Structure 1
């Protein structure tokens, strides 16, 4: 797990393709599977016994309409520069490159918040743009919301804290495959954090304020493992 020093930030929610994503423990899930299997039983195997756990509705994913995205980019030069750089490379950028791009970016928070949204029953992924090599997502949490404990199969991720305080908890697994926390850190606005493919973590909003992070996944997030806690 990487952390980087500071970067800069500066009504009606206009969204497209809203969907609920159901995550399971501890099987591998793709976004396609999440779309077509809205209710999933997931199994936790412990001491050769199987315990059925209820499905947990944790995340809403929307894709911002291209015309709305164009309006956002017109009002946010920092985000425009980031997208232009991402579109200019025909390969998977590394975490050091993403840090360099994110650490000095200035975000028009007012314009961004007009294009993204929050969900009452789980955090929300607002996909700004996606290509073969990257996925740019504004991830939003209301107070008390959190991701499941997860990794990023085949993808790296760097993210800028745009608004609010983001808590990241790092985990390792025991012999039974259950996750236990080893460290936790609070990230302030303008800080950058990054996670490599094998890293197991949880991102949460432990405050009474809203949280917005700007995530870049390289390549786009297509699968992930969800881990049950000890």
Structure 2
């Protein structure tokens, strides 16, 4: 079965899928690096190159090929989903928001090839590839991400980015939907 038919068969019937349904769908698709290889491009000067593979009103599936840069801390708007490491090792750093509205690092963990990890609604994290490693990840979110908030901890600012912007501070004004000044970290 070709990949597009497989995606439609597994993802098409989903309606407001819960956490377990999304994880199960990711497993049922069984997508391999060989299937994704024709879709992967170099990341250039960004943390990752992303390619939308499937999208309807309920879910979206993306593949990401990571550079040596880490992405900015970010949330996924009102979406939740699963990230699967297809190739390499991912370093995922999880944050919590302090009293000033700034994300504060809680912990980092590595996820090896084949691992799936959950991204909850309004959860803030950043990702990067482990040193000396290539990294390809698959991301399944519901609903499709809109209203993603990216944080710049040095500027004490956040930005709601357009749907075509990734998890980095936008280069172009049309990618900035709303800029938000945050409090100062207490000494």
Shorter-chain TM range is 0.7 to 0.9
Does 2:62 match 1:137?
yes
Aligned-CA RMSD value: 1.9
User: Take 2:8 and 2:64, find their aligned partners in 1: how far apart are those partners?
Assistant: 17
What per-residue deviation string (whole Å, max 9, x for no partner) do you get for residues 86-132 of structure 1? Answer: 1123x221111111222465333223111221222011111011111
Gaps of 5+ in 2: 154-184
1:167 paired residue among 91, 96, 102: 91
Q: What's the TM-score, normalizing by structure 1?
A: 0.61
- The structure whose Rg is larger is 1
User: Take 2:10 and 2:80, find their aligned partners in 1: how far apart are those partners?
Assistant: 17
User: Take 2:62 and 2:19, find their aligned partners in 1: how far apart are those partners?
Assistant: 16
What per-residue deviation string (whole Å, max 9, x for no partner) do you get for residues 69-93 of structure 1? Answer: xxxx62x5xx75344121123x221
Q: What's the TM-score, normalizing by structure 2?
A: 0.74
Kindly indicate whether the alpha-carbon contact (under 8 Å) linking 1:141 and 1:205 is maintained by their aligned counterparts in 2.
Answer: yes
Q: 2:43 matched to which residue of 1?
A: 119
User: Take 2:8 and 2:69, find their aligned partners in 1: how far apart are those partners?
Assistant: 28
User: Take 1:167 and 1:82, find their aligned partners in 2: how far apart are those partners?
Assistant: 27
CA shift for structure 1 position 201: 0.6
User: Take 1:133 and 1:107, find their aligned partners in 2: how far apart are those partners?
Assistant: 20
User: Take 2:24 and 2:75, find their aligned partners in 1: how far apart are those partners?
Assistant: 23
Does 2:15 match 1:95?
no
CA shift for structure 1 position 164: 0.7
The structure showing larger relative contact order (alpha-carbon pairs under 8 Å, at least 6 residues apart) is 1
Gaps of 5+ in 1: 1-72
1:201 paired residue among 111, 119, 125: 125
How many residues of Structure 1 are paired with residues of Structure 2 in the alignment? 153
What per-residue deviation string (whole Å, max 9, x for no partner) do you get for residues 118-156 of structure 1? Answer: 2220111110111111111001102x2222101111111
